[in-house]
Chain A
């Protein structure tokens, strides 16, 4: 069966992926693999995960989001999650998912600004090239 794939866009040094549908487990895993491959291929400095259109999050998707952030972090890519809905945020907190080490921003614009700040700071400190 063909698994739905989520488009991953590139702007400058950053990748942007916007989840626009309810992700079932298979599609979510596929998305994670695609994303990590793209990060490896493009050597992106930052990744924005836009969840504006997501209104239901289960524990699997919550954990996956945290995993993606950690994995991308290992590959030297800063991750910003944008556009979380209030209900989703409440659900995540109630599920006990804290998304540690993930930066969040209200919208795409602020997300990119946050990424620029982080990446800029790191290059200024000479941590990454």
Chain B
């Protein structure tokens, strides 16, 4: 009889211990690391388990802390990158007035679709702002011109023509010329000149102006 009661008591005890351990594990798996495992003063079969669990929770807390630190650094890096991209975006499509009604847009660096859209917008806005009749697009600094870049360029030129401005593309390098022709891009109707100087000269001609040397008295 007594033996049975002892067994019952033991069963109760095990149930009790498991319950408390379970609640700890549940809290931890829900992400709450504030719970502590109570280690009973009297050693029993559960002491080792409790100690191990305690250590595991400590490890988790440490890992979580490290992870949060990394997250914060990553966040800062992403913000930094966004700031830089914004700056690059602002620098990417400058529109400069070089003469009355003549604009120059020097393009530097690779052009992707997003940048191409921005270039188109900035150029058209520039045309209405400065009331430009001629726009010189300098692509000396563009390393690669593929079909999509060429198409964007053609679209921009067409849109500019709708506003009433004529575009001249200057600075086409030998590689770009080769790739454009081998890609079979249709460039009919696109005015091109060798370099910026030739472009400015073309603009002057179109506006009926010419640059002549000053007459000096000897």
Contacts and interface: CB of A to CB of B under 8 A. Distances in A.
Interface of A: 81-82, 84-86, 88-90, 92-94, 98-99, 103-107, 110-111, 114
A92 B120 CA distance: 13
B102 interface: no
Contact of A84 (B120, B121, B163): B163
Interface in B85-131: 120-121, 124-125, 127-128, 131
A93 B163 contact: no
A88 to B, nearest CB: 8
Contacts of B190: none
Interface of B: 120-121, 124-125, 127-128, 131-133, 155, 158-165
A92 B164 contact: no
A86 B158 contact: no
A106 B127 contact: yes
23 contacts: A81-B162, A86-B124, A86-B127, A86-B159, A89-B159, A89-B160, A89-B162, A89-B163, A90-B120, A90-B124, A92-B162, A93-B158, A94-B155, A98-B158, A99-B162, A103-B164, A104-B162, A105-B164, A106-B127, A106-B132, A106-B163, A106-B165, A114-B164
A28 B93 CA distance: 37
Contacts of A111: 164
Given A86-B124, A104-B161, 11 more contacts: A89-B160, A90-B121, A90-B159, A92-B162, A93-B155, A93-B159, A104-B164, A106-B163, A106-B164, A110-B131, A114-B164
Contacts of B125: 86
Contacts of A85: 128
Secondary structure class of chain B's binding surface, majority of residues: helix
A82 B120 contact: no
Nearest to A85: B128
A127 B12 CA distance: 113
A88 B155 CA distance: 13
B164 A82 contact: yes
Contact of B131 (A89, A106, A114): A106
Nearest to A99: B162
Given A86-B127, A90-B121, A93-B155, A106 B133 contact: yes
Contacts of B162: 81, 84, 88-89, 92-93, 99, 104
Nearest to B128: A86
Contacts of B164: 82, 84, 103-106, 110-111, 114
A111 B131 CA distance: 12
Contacts of A81: 162
Contacts of A84: 162-164
A86 B133 contact: no
Across chains A and B, which 4 residue pairs bring their CB atoms closest together, nearest first? A86-B124, A89-B159, A105-B164, A104-B164
A110 to B, nearest CB: 7
B191 to A, nearest CB: 16
Contacts of A94: 155
Nearest to A82: B164
